[in-house]
Structures are given as C-alpha cells and as structure tokens.
A and B are shown apart, each in its own frame.
Chain A
Amino acid sequence: MTAPDLIRLSGVAKRFTKAGQGITIFDHLDMGIGRGDFVAIMGPSGSGKTTLLNLLGGIDQPTGGEIWFDGARIDRLPEGRLADWRANNVGFIFQFYNLMPTLTALRNVELPLLLTPLGRAERRQRAEIALRIVGLSDRLGHYPREMSGGQQQRVAIARAIVSDPKMLLCDEPTGDLDRGTADEILRMLQLLNREMGKTIVMVTHDPEAARYAGRILHLDKGRFVENELAGARVS
C-alpha cells in the first residue's frame, strides 16, 4: 500500500441490544479502503453490511475500535461535527432513492448545497451540472413520481455528488431495478469512480453488480473474506 488509505477500520466492534438481548455484529473488524477504490461488499442477509455502511458514513457509532477517514478519527465526533463531516465528505445512495416526493429533481439535488455558503444562483447552477452528469438535463422540473426508478436513482446520484464528496456509500443501489437499468446505474458509478476519482463503497447481493467494482469483500459472521477480481472489471 503506497498512499495511506482513505478509510481505516481498526478493531471495530458493533453490538446491539434488542429486547434485552445483546447481539454482536462485529467483534474485531480491520479494513482499509484506498483512495479511488471501488469496493463491493457482499454477504448473506443480516451479516451486517448495512451496519458497516452506517459506520463508514458516520450515521452510527461503533461500540469499540477506531474509524479513521482521511487521517482524522471520526468515530467519536459529536453529532453536530459528524453532520458537518457527512455533508463535506460523503454522498449517500439508497436502494429506494430516498428523494423528497414534494420537490422537483432540481430541488432535490440542490438540498445538500443548502448546507454550504453558496448563493441561490450558484446552487442552482451546480445542481444543473450534477443532473447533466447523470444525463437528466431535460428533467429538472420533474417530480420523483413522474420518473422511472432508474431516473430517480440517477437524481439520487446527482444529489450524492453535487457537493463533491470524496466518498460515495451505496446500499443496494440497484436492488430495486431491472437488469438493464441496473447496468446503466452501475456504469455511471464506475464512471464517477474512474473519471472523477470518487471512492465508492457499494453493498450488493448481486454478483453481476459486484463485478463492476475493483474489489469485493465478503462479509460473513463478522469477518471479511477478500476476493480481488483482477481483470474482472466490466468495461
């Protein structure tokens, strides 16, 4: 490993108490994700993939261990600082898009920019650029219900990249899409990874989807099993 990793997990533990009973999802997880990596995380349902993504994205905290991002420790930040950190560094992409149904595509994409000092005109301009990148220049004024699933996910991708974060976290981003549309979305993620240098961590249970990544991590019983797919990248 030449450059230091963008993300480093060392000895991360996560336990939940549910109905008075403790469950341990991870006991001692070590992992590094390099800058510009595209990592797919696979594993059986309930193995803790989403939990891991939450820890990486700073929306949940580990019960033990350390999480480092870009040389700074994030697992003990108070919620206010963590919110700022998320706004600056992470773009989230969800299985069910999570767009605001009452806002147009443009307004949805503009949302993260409300957390920046940018003025109205510049916010609008940047949101338009993000929507152009995902090929939706002609849909600015459309509401989510007026778009297909694939189009909604592209709006969500535009929202995730509009504030230019270093890392994109995707939880089953194609889980709700047909094969052809899924491939479109995956190619788009791949493009963002290659052309814009976004570090991407994608949870999927679809082996076809995982092949778009440069690296696949299998999560099972709280442990990683790595699978480098040399030459297996789909182009």
Chain B
Amino acid sequence: MPRLLAQIAAVTAINVKSMPQRAWLSASTVVAVALVVAVLLSFLAMANGFEQTLRGTGSPEVAVLLRGGAGVEINSSISRDQVRLVEEAPGIARGADGRPLVSAELYVTVDGRKRAGGSKANVTLRGMGPEGAAIRPGFRIVGGRMAQPGSAELMVGQSLVREFAGFDLGSRVRIANADWTVVGVFDMGGSVFESELWADIATVQSLFRRTNVFQSIRVRLDAPDRLPALRAYLDADPRLKLDAKSEVAYFADQASSTITLIRFLGWPLAIAMAVGALAGALNTMYSAVAARAQEIATLRCLGFGGIPSFVGTLIESLLLALLGGLLGAAVTWAAFDGVTASTLGSGFTQVVFAFRLSPVLVFQGVVLALVVGLLGGLFPAWRAAHVPIVRAYGNG
C-alpha cells in the first residue's frame, strides 16, 4: 500500500518538524530516557568489566584446592599435614630444583587508603611461599625484587600501587603492629592478583596468630588435562576432603555470583526509573497530540486515515526515546568506559577493574529506551487516531 506509506511519511515529517515547538518537553523526555539508560549501562558496564578482569585472572594450568564445600578461600581451612599430602599428588609440575610447584596460602584483609579521596578500603594481604610466584603464569617483577622468606617484606601488585596510597616501592608500611617494607612491584596482566599485597606465609601466619593454618593450595599442573588425576588422588585419600578446580573455573564461579548481584541491582533500578521516564514520555506525547488535534482533524478532512496519525505519533515517541538512549549510552561511554574502579570482590576485598561498555550492552540500553518510547507513544497514538474530525474547526 504505497499510498499508506506516503501518508505515514508525510504525517511523520509534520510531527518531527513540529518537535521544536515543544522543545522543552521533548528535551525533558530525551533526558529522562538518557538517565535511565545511563544508569542501566553503568551497572552493566561494571558487571562486564568485573567479569573481564576475573576471567582474565585464571590460568588453566593452575588448580585451586579448598576444603570440601568451602567455595571461596575465606571459608576454607587446610592443615599443614594436608599440604604435605598434596605435594605427593600426581599431575603436579616440578620446579628447577625438583620440588613440586605447590603453594599453600593464607590471606587476611588489611586497611588501605585510596589515592583518590583518601577513603579507607580493605586490601588483601596474601601469605605464600616462594613457589607462590612460580606457579602463577604471567608473574613478572617490574620494580625491586622478590620478598625474602621469613622476612616482613611486601611485594605489591601494580593496580594496587596505582589505586592506593603508601605502597610505592621502598615505602614502609605498618601492618599488624609490625613494620613492613615494600621491596617489589609486580605485574600479572591486570588480573585480580595485581590488587594484592604478597608476603611470606610464615610471617603472615605468626603476625596474625594463624600458625599452621592455610586456606588454599594452588598447584601448577603438568598440563591442564592432568586435573582429573589430581582429583582422583584427593578422592582416594579420606584425609584429603578437598575440592580441586582449575583456576579459570574458580574465578568464573566467583565472578558469576558478583556479576549476577550487580546485574540484579542494575536492572530493577533502571526499570524503576524507566517507569518514571515512561510517565514523562506519556505526558509529552499526550501534549503533542493535543497540540496537533486540529492538524490531525484537518488531515482527516482531506481524506487521510487514522493509521498515519497513529504511526506518526508512535514514530515521534520512538525517535525521542532513541535519542535519549543514544545520549545515555554516549554519556556512559564518556564518563565511565575504561575508568578504573575497585569494588568488593571475592572475600570482601578490593578488586581493581575497569568499566567496560560493549556493543551488546549499548544494544540492551537502546532496547530499554525503545520500550519506554513504544509504551509512551502507544496510548497517545491511539488518541491521535481517534481525534474527532469536527475538531478541524477549532474548539468543537
């Protein structure tokens, strides 16, 4: 029906050209929708950035062992005897000195102060043996040296140095009533470990009164496919009630609960705001239809049907919403994309990550905007299609 399309095009052009006559109202709708999309996209970009950071952390060649059912390090405890038994397990790679690459670790949280704003936040202090660095692929000292076993020396991740004050190379730090010295800065490809402080396990155990307690064992596998052999060994020994996961799976599991949390905060908040924006859109479009009633009735006199007025009004509403959606995405992009943040990560410590927008997220934001535009335009469009034709004479 080409004539119908021509009518719709003409009515839409008339509507769109008349938008400046309601500039403030139209602009307020655009801004309201933009706000909704910006809020949604900030949350989704946060979840996305967090996910990318945690996914980038795991190595398939590293297995993480925790007490059975513990799920995360903070819930786990492992004895020194168990550590010794694990050192005998099959599938574990050996270092240059022939010792198995097994790192029994304990972490505690300590206070840190943000460079920006100076606010306090928890920082992970991880105690580990000399194998701790060796089992982690991608570990690289970028300043200073490794910490000495048995000393109160700290190595700090690059992200931590950037975000927190007082951990620069050579700094003296007071933790657990002891004086520590930062002797090394390391890079681990932007993973969560870069947000940690590393120290000697024995020093951490004694200063925090957790002698002979470990939380996790990390082992370097001969090859990623050696994990089943390690699991079989753990299952066969009743003294080893430990779960073994590849580090990739471990972080993916942790990320998924946090990411789900962020998303489950973001969507309801955005939808609640969308209801507000919807009220604005309805108001704008009802005003637009009221202002145009005589024009619409005149077109009907000329022989135009109701459908062009309906579709024209709907398109105007969708257009306002689309503008709002794109504005919201642009604002989020400009304000947040690539901005680093630190948030509560696994075990209530700070994980430094960057907000990451992606085309899929922008698409989701624009879809939400268009839903607002569609609902906000539907009822006014219905009214436009049913303007009494006698309104062409004015008041009527």
Give 7 CB contacts A-B under 8 Å.
A54-B390, A83-B303, A96-B394, A98-B294, A102-B17, A103-B14, A111-B10
Q: Determine whether the beta carbon of A92 is less than 8 Å from that of B301.
A: yes
Please name the 4 residue pairs, one residue from A and one from B, whose CB atoms are nearest each other, closest first: A87-B303, A102-B17, A59-B389, A98-B298
Given the known interface contacts A96-B394, A98-B392, the answer about A111 and B300 at a Cβ–Cβ threshold of 8 Å is no
Query: Closest approach, in angstroms, between the C-beta of B89 and any C-beta of chain A?
Result: 79
Query: Which one of B14, B298, B303 has the highest number of Cβ atoms from chain A below 10 Å of its Cβ?
Result: B303
- B304: Cβ under 8 A from any A Cβ: yes
A57 to B302, CA, bound (A): 10
Query: Closest approach, in angstroms, between the C-beta of A117 and any C-beta of chain B?
Result: 7
- B142: Cβ under 8 A from any A Cβ: no
Q: Which residue of A lies closest to B295 (CB)?
A: A100
On chain A, the residues within 8 Å of B389 by CB distance are 59-60
Q: Determine whether the beta carbon of B10 is less than 8 Å from that of A57.
A: no
Q: Determine whether the beta carbon of B294 is less than 8 Å from that of A115.
A: no
A95 to B13, CA, bound (A): 25
Query: Which one of B13, B295, B389 has the highest number of Cβ atoms from chain A below 10 Å of its Cβ?
Result: B389
Q: Determine whether the beta carbon of A60 is less than 8 Å from that of B3.
A: no
A residues 138-180 in Cβ contact with B at 8 Å = 159, 171
Q: Determine whether the beta carbon of B390 is less than 8 Å from that of A59.
A: yes
A115 to B303, CA, bound (A): 7
Q: Which residue of A lies closest to B8 (CB)?
A: A114
Given the known interface contacts A57-B301, A86-B302, A87-B303, the answer about A115 and B7 at a Cβ–Cβ threshold of 8 Å is yes
On chain B, the residues within 8 Å of A231 by CB distance are none
Q: Please report the number of residue pairs spanning A and B whose Cβ atoms sit closer than 8 angstroms.
A: 67
- Write the residues of chain A forming the contact surface with B, with a CB cutoff of 8 angstroms: 50, 54, 57, 59-60, 80, 83-84, 86-88, 92, 94-96, 98, 100-103, 111-112, 114-117, 159, 171
Given the known interface contacts A101-B18, A102-B14, A103-B14, the answer about A117 and B301 at a Cβ–Cβ threshold of 8 Å is no
On chain B, the residues within 8 Å of A114 by CB distance are 3, 6-7, 10, 304
Q: Which residue of A lies closest to B7 (CB)?
A: A114
Band of interface residues on B: 20 to 34
On chain A, the residues within 8 Å of B301 by CB distance are 57, 59, 86, 92
Main secondary structure of the interface of B (DSSP, over half): helix
On chain A, the residues within 8 Å of B305 by CB distance are 80, 83
On chain B, the residues within 8 Å of A103 by CB distance are 13-14, 17
B residues 7-31 in Cβ contact with A at 8 Å = 7, 10, 13-14, 17-18
On chain A, the residues within 8 Å of B10 by CB distance are 111, 114
On chain B, the residues within 8 Å of A159 by CB distance are 302
- B83: Cβ under 8 A from any A Cβ: no
Given the known interface contacts A59-B301, A98-B298, A100-B295, the answer about A92 and B392 at a Cβ–Cβ threshold of 8 Å is yes
Q: Determine whether the beta carbon of B18 is less than 8 Å from that of A92.
A: no
Contact residue among A83, A96, A101 (Cβ-Cβ distance under 8 Å from B304): A83
A50 to B390, CA, bound (A): 9
Q: Which residue of A lies closest to B18 (CB)?
A: A102
Q: Determine whether the beta carbon of A112 is less than 8 Å from that of B393.
A: no
- B279: Cβ under 8 A from any A Cβ: no
Q: Determine whether the beta carbon of B303 is less than 8 Å from that of A100.
A: no
Q: Determine whether the beta carbon of B14 is less than 8 Å from that of A84.
A: no
On chain B, the residues within 8 Å of A59 by CB distance are 300-301, 389-390, 392
On chain A, the residues within 8 Å of B304 by CB distance are 83, 114-115
